A and B are shown apart, each in its own frame.
Chain A
Amino acid sequence: QVQLVQSGAEVKKPGASVKVSCKASGYTFTCCYMHWVRQAPGQGPEWMGAISPRGGSTNYAQEFQGRVTMTWDTSTTTIYMELSSLKSEDTAVYYCARASGAAGTPNDYWGQGTLVTVSS
Chain B
Amino acid sequence: EIVLTQSPGTLSLSPGERATLSCRASQSVTGSYLAWYQQKSGQAPRLLIYGASSRATGIPDRFSGSGSGTDFTLTIRRLEPEDFAVYYCQQYGSSPRTFGPGTKVDIK
> A residues touching B (Cβ–Cβ < 8 Å)?
35, 44-47, 59, 61-62, 95, 97, 99, 103-108, 110-113
Contacts and interface: CB of A to CB of B under 8 A. Distances in A.
Given A106-B47, A106-B50, A110-B44, A44 B102 contact: yes
A58 B17 CA distance: 44
A48 to B, nearest CB: 9
Contacts of B100: 44
Nearest to B86: A44
A111 B44 contact: yes
B81 interface: no
B105 interface: no
A5 B66 CA distance: 33
B65 to A, nearest CB: 12
Contacts of A106: 33, 35, 47, 50-51, 56, 90, 92
Interface string B49-67: 0110000110000000000
Nearest to B35: A106
A83 to B, nearest CB: 16
Nearest to B34: A106
Interface in B59-99: 88, 90, 92-93, 95-99
